[in-house]
Amino acid sequence: MIEAIIISYLNNIEGMAPAYAERPENVPPKYILVEKTGTSTENRITTSTIAVQAISDTLQNGSLLDAMQLNEAVKVAMADLVTLDSVSGVSLNSDYNFTDSTTKEYRFQAVFLVTHY
C-alpha cells in the first residue's frame, strides 16, 4: 500500500513533522496528512495520485508561513521518494493553499503522481 510506504518514509526523515493517514486525536502544532485519491495500472506498473497536506494548527500558534514551509519540505522529501526500491517515479502535479476554516488550520496541499510496483 503506497500510502503506508509514504507515511513511513516521511516519518523517518529527521526534523520532518509527523505524517498520518488521518487527522490525529491529539493534533500536533504541525503535521502531514497523506491520502491516495486515485490509481491507474498499465503493464503491471501502477501510478497513484497522492495528495499530501502540510498543516499548521492556528489554535497552537501555527501560521500560514509554517504551512508554506512544511509544504516546501514535503515537496523536497517526496522528490527523493524515488530512492525507495518500490518507487520508480514521482512527479509534482500541483500544490496550492488549502486552508480549512472549519478546523482553523492552515493547509497547503501538494498532489503527486507516484509510479510504484
Q: In terms of C-beta density within 10 A (0-12 exposed, 13-18 middle, 19 or more buried), how is residue 65 classed?
A: exposed
The residues spanned by each domain of the chain are 2-116
Is the predicted pLDDT of residue 57 greater than 90, yes or no?
no
Q: Which CATH number fits domain 2-116: 1.10.287.130, 3.30.300.30, 3.30.70.20, 3.30.2000.10?
A: 3.30.2000.10
Q: Residue 70: in which H helix or E strand, if any?
A: helix 64-79
Query: What is the C-alpha to C-alpha distance for residues 19 and 55, in angstroms, rounded to an integer?
Result: 10
Cell 482553523 locates to 104
Prediction pTM value: 0.93
pLDDT of residue 100 exceeding 90: no
pLDDT of residue 103: 80
In sequence order, what are the residues at sequence separation of 6 or more whose Cβ sits closer than 8 angstroms to the Cβ of residue 52? 6, 32, 33, 34, 35, 74, 78, 109, 110, 111, 112
